[in-house]
Amino acid sequence: MPSPATSWSPQSWKSFPTTQQPVYPDAAALDRMLAEIGALPPLVTSYEIEALKAQLAEAARGERFILWGGDCAESFADCSSAAIASKLKILLQMSLVLVQGTRKRITRIGRFAGQYAKPRSAMTEVRDGVELPSFRGDNVNRPEFTHASRTPDPQLLLRGYERSALTLNFVRSLVDGGFADLHHPENWDLDFVKHSPLAAEYQKMVDSIGESLRFMESLAGGTLAQMQRVDFFTSHELLVLAYESALTRQVPRREGWFNLSTHLPWIGMRTNASGGAHVEFCRGIRNPVGVKVGPDTTVDTLLDTVRTLSPDNEAGRVVLISRFGAHQIGRAFPPLLRAVRDAGLHVVWVCDPMHGNTETVVPTAGEWAGKSVKTRKFGHILAECEQAFEIHRAEGTVLAGVHIELTGENVTECIGGARGISEDDLSRAYRSQVDPRLNYEQALELAMLIARRAAPR
Ligand code: PEP
Ligand code: CO
């Protein structure tokens, strides 16, 4: 573990054990690209980052609820008006449902505007005796199984930066233009909600929006005009450290360094070693930082990581994202939760009910009969959320939010939900290159069920 006295710089991670980093054959080309990115404007501001940190601290005290969601991986091809708008719509609709259920203000965080790089369990992939680097996301290499496509290309980092900026620009314009105006939730309807078994329940909520608005306004102590604007924050898995350090800067009139590629970077399960390069990098930035916590996390590692990231025990700084799976959370989570609580560490607990519940099924009928397909069961996702609420309640701690992989599209990637998507339905509209996401209706349904669970008792 680096001691707090060890000097930090945006490059100090280089002398720590690194994992999951692409190997670029042309180091000079990478350096040129990083210098170019390093001279470009930041994607977010330190002011926004500090505002998010303050909101996260409120959520940890139970005064807010965090809705964090988006694709497992963004793709360059999906940087389109329709895909971005439908992602915003589903997050807005879910937050509308959650505000009614929880009676709390909602902080919306997108897994977007930078969620391009993916961790992989193997460095290489072998097909028919040919071994090539694994596909690591659109800002690293290309998915086609050829040597040229799979070779990491530094140009893609710049394209990823630009795609992030385009996404963010459109999100900000939509929000500023009144798209997110809570007074007009009827504008957010997506066509197929009309055919959903949940349509009536959702309509009831839209009809009672007036009441919920008044409620929010009284909570916020704000006027109608102030309530019209709804903010979105951005987040992505902090993976390619060379890219992240090129966007890590000092800003006038504020102490310290900020990673200005996103508001809330998180460290994934495969890179969260307490003495590793990713933790070292995050130690020196002022952003709030997420850390995934799973069945393999030990009490010692977790305490060590939290103390390294937050030596001053700053509220809102460390977000611990639990992802155990419905079958393991009951056994594996409480000891970790108690240890953090008993050590008096300020953390923000969020439940990710997706990544511990991934499984492979083999449909027996339909186009994919006999093939292995990666999926998740809605029942398991819901069960993990419900157990997370129960465990926090029992331990006297706060579940501050949820972190979900979803899309605003009508895909068939996860099994179950009110429409009863079956294994044999998966082939119909399975579009994810990586993890299976909740579709629009399943995401809205999950929000409704969480809202019931989170209702003040
Ligand atoms: C993810 O959030 O997409 C992810 C890879 O999660 P984890 O690190 O928890 O496996
Ligand atoms: Co994922």
CA 117 – ligand 1 centroid, Å: 11
Average pLDDT over residues 112-127: 95
Question: Of 185-199, 243-257, 284-298, 374-388, where does mean pLDDT reach its minimum?
Answer: 185-199
Domain membership flag for residue 69: yes
Q: Using the predicted structure, report yes or no on whether residue 243 has a pLDDT greater than 70.
A: yes
Domain membership flag for residue 7: no
| Ion ligand 2, residues whose Cβ is below 5 A away | 72, 435
CA 188 – ligand 1 centroid, Å: 29
The pair phi, psi for residue 407, each rounded to 5°, is -145, 155
What is the three-class DSSP state of 252? Answer: coil
Instruction: Supply the DSSP string of 228-250, one letter for each residue.
Output: T---EEEEEE---HHHHHHTEEE
Q: Using the predicted structure, report yes or no on whether residue 216 has a pLDDT greater than 80.
A: no
Average pLDDT over residues 383-397: 98
The pair phi, psi for residue 66, each rounded to 5°, is -100, 125
Average model confidence (pLDDT) across the chain: 92
CA 184 – ligand 2 centroid, Å: 32
Distances in whole angstroms, Cα of residue 213 to Cα of each of 210, 218, 226: 5, 8, 12
Q: Using the predicted structure, report yes or no on whether residue 388 has a pLDDT greater than 50.
A: yes
pLDDT one-digit tens code per residue, 63-73: 999 999 999 99
Domain membership flag for residue 348: yes
- Which helix (H) or strand (E) segment is 35 a member of? helix 27-39
Per-residue pLDDT at 132: 97
Per-residue pLDDT at 454: 82
Which residues is 27 bridged to in the sheet? none
pLDDT one-digit tens code per residue, 31-86: 999 999 999 999 999 999 999 999 999 999 999 999 999 999 999 999 999 999 98
Ligand nearest the Cα of residue 376 is 2
Do 441 and 411 touch, CB atoms closer than 8 A?
Answer: no
Q: Using the predicted structure, report yes or no on whether residue 190 has a pLDDT greater than 80.
A: no
* Closest by CA position to 91, among listed 112, 109, 71, 105: 109
- Which helix (H) or strand (E) segment is 126 a member of? strand 124-127
Spatial neighbors of 48 by CB under 8 A, at least 6 apart, are: 233, 263
Which residue is closest in CA terms to ligand 1's atom 4? Answer: 268
Per-residue pLDDT at 279: 98
Domain membership flag for residue 94: yes
Domain membership flag for residue 4: no
What residue numbers bound the domain in which 351 lies? 12-454
Q: Using the predicted structure, report yes or no on whether residue 222 has a pLDDT greater than 70.
A: no
Whole-number percent of the chain with pLDDT over 70: 91
Q: Using the predicted structure, report yes or no on whether residue 424 has a pLDDT greater than 90.
A: yes
Domain membership flag for residue 190: yes
> Strands 289-293 and 264-267, how do they pair?
parallel
User: Among 74, 75, 237, which is best to mutate for testing ligand 1, by the most ligand atoms less than 8 A from CB?
Assistant: 237
Question: Of 12-26, 183-197, 286-300, 417-431, where does mean pLDDT reach its minimum?
Answer: 183-197
Read off the CATH number of the domain in which 122 is found: 3.20.20.70
Per-residue pLDDT at 225: 56
Tally of structural domains, the chain: 1
- C-alpha 354/C-alpha 30 separation (Å) is 34
User: Among 266, 292, 352, 384, which is best to mutate for testing ligand 1, by the most ligand atoms less than 8 A from CB?
Assistant: 292
Q: Using the predicted structure, report yes or no on whether residue 159 has a pLDDT greater than 70.
A: yes
DSSP 8-class letter at 415: B
Ligand nearest the Cα of residue 435 is 2
* Closest by CA position to 113, among listed 150, 76, 154: 76
Q: Which residues line ligand 1 (CB under 6 A)?
A: 72, 119, 237, 268-270, 292, 323, 355, 435
Look at the block and give the residue holding tokens 């992030």: 164
Per-residue pLDDT at 4: 47
Domain membership flag for residue 5: no
Instruction: Supply the DSSP string of 131-188, one letter for each residue.
Output: EEEPP--TTT--SSSSHHHHS--THHHHHHHHHHHHHHHHHHHHHHTTTT-TT-GGGG
- C-alpha 2/C-alpha 100 separation (Å) is 44
Do 108 and 217 touch, CB atoms closer than 8 A?
Answer: no
Q: What is the pTM of this model?
A: 0.94
Average pLDDT over residues 82-106: 89
Look at the block and give the residue holding tokens 């439908």: 86
Q: Using the predicted structure, report yes or no on whether residue 96 has a pLDDT greater than 90.
A: no
Domain membership flag for residue 2: no
Look at the block and give the residue holding tokens 């629009």: 440
User: Among 269, 320, 384, 413, which is best to mutate for testing ligand 1, by the most ligand atoms less than 8 A from CB?
Assistant: 269
- C-alpha 92/C-alpha 65 separation (Å) is 13
Which residues is 70 bridged to in the sheet? 405
- C-alpha 231/C-alpha 316 separation (Å) is 18
CA 77 – ligand 2 centroid, Å: 18
Instruction: Supply the DSSP string of 43-77, one letter for each residue.
Output: SS-HHHHHHHHHHHHHHHTTSEEEEEEE-SS--GG
Do 390 and 329 touch, CB atoms closer than 8 A?
Answer: no
Do 42 and 247 touch, CB atoms closer than 8 A?
Answer: yes
Tokens representing residue 174 in the block: 């939509």
Q: Using the predicted structure, report yes or no on whether residue 282 has a pLDDT greater than 60.
A: yes
> Strands 257-259 and 248-250, how do they pair?
antiparallel
| Atom in ligand 1 nearest the alpha carbon of residue 72 | 3
